[in-house]
Structure 1
C-alpha cells in the first residue's frame, strides 16, 4: 500500500472476478475496479464480473486490507429503459462500493439527486479530453476524479491537471483503444452492438474461428478480420486490431496489438500531479492481475521514495513483456516525436 508514502498516487487495478480482486489487493493495489454481470459495465463478457454476493465478499476483503472498491457503471444507459443503470447505482451503494466510475450524464444526475454523498469518478468512456469538459462534470455532477482517454500527450495531460481541481487518473499499463473512448462505432458497424452500450468490443455471439487452407480465419459477424498461421498466437478478434489488405499490403491498418506501458515516464507523470494509475485488464486472468500489480506496486513505491534514483528494473520489464499484447510495448500518445 502507499499510505506511508507522501503524495503517492493510487494504484487502481482490474478485477474481472473475485479471485482477481483478491489477487490485486494482496499484491498491493490501493483500489480495484469491477462491474456487475450485465450491460451496465464496459467489459460485459460471459464468465466475468460479479454478482451481489461476490461484490460483498470483494468489498469485505478489500476494506479489511485498506483498499477501495470502485464499481464501473460506464456504459451509456438505454434510452428506452434506464432502469438497469439506476438499479445498479442503488446496488453499488447498498453493497458498500467506495465510488462509481460513470460515463452517462443521466446516470450521474441520478447519483447526484438520489445519493449525493456517493463519490463519482468520470469514466474514460465519457471522452473528456479537456479541462473545460472535466470542469463541467465537476460543477454539474460533483465528479471528484476523471480518467483521461489514452489519446493525450504529456503536455496535454499537464495542462488538464493545471486547470482543474479534479483528481486525474491515467492508464499506466494494458491494452490500447484506437478510438477516443466512448465514441467507438466499429463494432456497431459490423455487429449492430456498440461497446459504448453493449459492454464488449466484439460480442461473443458474433465471433467465429474458421479453419482454412492458409490458416485460421477470425471473423466478426461474417467480416474477415484476420488470418493466422497454424502456429501463430492469436488474440481475441477486434476490428481495430485486425490485418487488412491496403494498397496490396496486408498489415494492421488501424492499430497494432500492443500494450501501453508508462513505467519509463512514471516519475514525470507523478511530478505533474497524476493522482492515480489504472491498470487495464478486467478480461484478463487473476495471474495477470497479480503479477502486473506487483510490478506497479514496486515501481510506484520506488518512484516516490528514490529521490531521483528511479529506474525501470529488468525484472519489471520482463514481467510486463510477458503480459503485453503481441509482446510489444508503447508509450502511445504520451510520446509523439513529430510534435
Structure 2
C-alpha cells in the first residue's frame, strides 16, 4: 500500500490594515499577520485618512503581539533618487516600533535595511515584480530576502514552478483587487496625473480626480482625461485609469481591466499542496468591516483546507460574503486560471 500524502502546511493568513481599527478587527477575526504602512509616500496605499502615525503603529504592534500575531510594514514604493531619506527613516521607525518584517521593493531600501538592521526580516514586495525563481534568488543572495510576494500575473502552474525551484518563502494574493500591470511597472497614472504610483503610492491621487455633474449623469476625469461616465443611479468606484471605460471600435467598455476582485478560494488546497507559505488579502484602502469579514471567511477556509484538504469545498456562505465585498460585486480566478495556456 502506498503511504498517504503528507498534510499540506497551513499557510499564514496576511490581512490588510489601513487603520488601527482595521488592524484590531483583522487580528480578532483570525489573521496570522497584518500589513500596514506609514502616513507618507513610502507605502503603496498613500491615501489621505489612511495608514499609521508612529504612536498608532506602536499601539497596533502591541495589540498584535499580545495575541501572538505579526505586523509587517510596507515600505514598498521606490525611493526618490534625489531624496531617499524618508524611506531610510521609515526603515528605522519600523525597527524602533517593533515591526516583525518589512515589505520592500527598492534596492537601495533593501541595502540600507540589511546594512543598518541585519536582524530585520525582509519580504520582497509585489511591487518588485519578481515573477521567476531566478529573480527571487537575486534578491535573496544580495539582500537576504526571506519571503517573496508574487505578482498577480502568474498562472497556477507558474506559481508551482517558482515554488519547486526556490527555498524562499512564497506569498500569493488570495482575494482583492487585481492589477492589470506587471506591478511596480505602471505608467498609466503617471501619464494622466503627473505622479507615479510607484513613488507617490496612489494610483489616482485625490488632487487629480474630477467628478463633473451632467444632466444625464456624472463624468469622472483624472485631470483633463475623461476615464468614465456614470448614469445618475449607477454605482461608482474609486477611479483608476486601468479600470476606466473607453470607446474602442464603436463599443464603450472596460478596455484594459474590469472592476472585479480576485477570489482564489477554490484553489486553496492546491496552493497549499504546492507549498505556498502565506495567503495575502488585498485591501488596505477598504473599510474595517471589509477587513473583518474577509479575514473571517479566509480563516475558516484555511483551517478547513488544512484539516481535510481532500474534502475541502467552498461553502456557499463564504462565496456570498466575498461576492458582496468584491470590487463590482464580481470575482474571478484572474491569471491563476488561463485555459488557453
Q: Could you say whether these structures have the same fold, taking a TM-score greater than 0.5 normalized by the shorter chain as the test?
A: yes
Gap regions ≥5 residues in structure 2: 1-6
Aligned residues: CA RMSD: 0.8
* 1:98 correspondence with 2:110: no
Counterpart Cα distance in 1 of 2:309 and 2:191: 50
Name the CA distance, whole Å, in 1 between partners of 2:246 and 2:253. 6
Q: CA deviation at 1:337?
A: 1.2
Following superposition, the deviation at residue 214 of structure 1 comes to 2.2
Q: 1:165 to 1:199 in 2, by over 3 A?
A: same
The residue that corresponds to 1:242 in the other structure is 244
Residues 28-87 of structure 1: per-residue CA shift (max 9 Å, x gap):
000000000000000000000000110010000000111000000000000001000000
2:207 is equivalent to residue 205 of structure 1: yes
Match of 2:26 among 1, 11, 24: 24
Distance 1:143 1:19 in 2: 30
Q: Which residue of 1 aligns with 2:13?
A: 11
Shift of 1:307: 4.0
Query: 1:169: which partner in 2?
Result: 171
2:281 matched to 1:279? Answer: yes
Structure 1: 4+ residue segments shifted above 2 A: none
Partner Cα separation in structure 1 for residue 71 and residue 210 of structure 2: 35
**Correspondence list, 1:1-339, <5 A:** 7-339=9-341
Shift, 1:7, TM fit: 2.0
SS of 1:149's partner is coil
Task: Name the TM-score, length of structure 1 as normaliser.
Answer: 0.98
SS in 1 for 2:72: strand
Distance, in Å, in 2 between the alignment partners of 1:161 and 1:338 is 22
Matched pairs, number: 335
Secondary structure (helix, strand or coil) at the match of 2:96 reads helix
CA distance in 2, matches of 1:136, 1:164: 11
